[in-house]
Amino acid sequence: MLRKCRFAALLGLLMLGSAATAAAPDTMAQRMLACAACHGAEGRATGDGFYPRIAGKPAGYLYHQLINFREGRRLNAQMTYLLERQSNDYLREMAEYFAGLSLPHPPTQPTQADPARLQHGLQLVRQGDATRGIPACNDCHGEKMTGVMPDIPGLLGLPYDYLVAQFGAWRQGTRHGTAPDCMAAIVAKLTPEDIDAAASWLAAQPMPADPHPAPSLPKPLPTSCGSVTGAGAAQ
């Protein structure tokens, strides 16, 4: 008990000390506190379901998204407002900061989806649908679906609501990639049932033991993507 009290007193003294000096650390973590309000502490996401985790995503992908928000290719008034007057260099630094955070993932939420829907989702993710010209998600987002360095995002560890909202945004034209916008072309071929199934299956998967993006793709992309400029871009 006495030890506890001493510890509390010491902690109190330390806190007083820091309050008196009041010098904020000159770090990216301090600069990026504004992001934590929605994306969670250190960009780990919150339980909200709409704001995605940004920690550990590939730097090139994050950078392109920051640019897309700034230029109005992705529509979110809050994001655009925060980024509108920042230089490419600073946006790059933000992207690299969050990409470099390697933090544990929370456990996957149990799914409500029925087995048939999950089976349809698995099918689309792993094989796509050649008859409709839909490539497998795996072909671009990596065998483990944790993304591919430096430009392709992972699809695991994202909430169902966020995933469905992104498909919806491509359909409605409120989210665009750099032309040629490969995801817009793919989403145009998906039915609402496809989207629901794929998002249900993806959101139900646990993170693999190594959640980092793959360093490269084993084969070129099946379609050409303006947002993918690094290794693995389609020939």
Residues that bind other proteins (CB under 8 A): 19, 22-26, 30-38, 71-73, 77-78, 80-87, 89-90, 93
- Closer residue to other proteins in complex, CB, 15/231: 15
Q: Which is nearer to other proteins, 92 or 212 (CB)?
A: 92
Phi, psi (deg, nearest 5) at residue 134: -105, 115
Nearer of residues 35 and 203 to other proteins, judged by Cβ: 35
Picking from 42, 44, 94, 36, the residue whose alpha carbon sits closest to that of residue 65 is 94
Q: What is the nearest approach in angstroms of other proteins to the Cβ of residue 54?
A: 15
Least distance to other proteins from the beta carbon of 210, Å? Answer: 32
Q: Are 27 and 38 in contact (CB under 8 A)?
A: no
Closest CA to 227 of 51, 56, 57, 63: 63
Q: Which residue has the tokens 């795996």?
A: 138
- Residue number with CB closer to other proteins (9 or 33): 33
For 87, which DSSP code?
Answer: -
Residue 209 CB, nearest distance to other proteins (Å)? 33
Q: At what angle do helices 88-99 and 59-71 cross, to 10 degrees?
A: 140
The answer to whether the CB of 166 falls within 8 A of the CB of 126 is no
Is the Cβ of residue 78 or residue 216 nearer to other proteins in the bound state?
78
Smallest distance from the beta carbon of 74 to other proteins, in angstroms?
Answer: 10
Rounded to a whole number of angstroms, the minimum distance from the CB of residue 73 to other proteins is 6
Closest to other proteins by CB, 37 or 231:
37
User: b/e string for 113-138 if b means 16 or more Cβ within 10 A?
Assistant: beeebeebbbbbbeebeeeeebbbbe
Find the shortest distance in angstroms from Cβ 175 to other proteins: 13
- SS3 label, residue 129: strand
Whole-number minimum distance, CB 116 to other proteins, in Å?
36
234 in Cβ contact with 222 (< 8 Å): yes
- Looking at beta carbons only, is 51 or 201 nearer to other proteins? 51
Where would I find the beta strands (DSSP E) of the chain? none
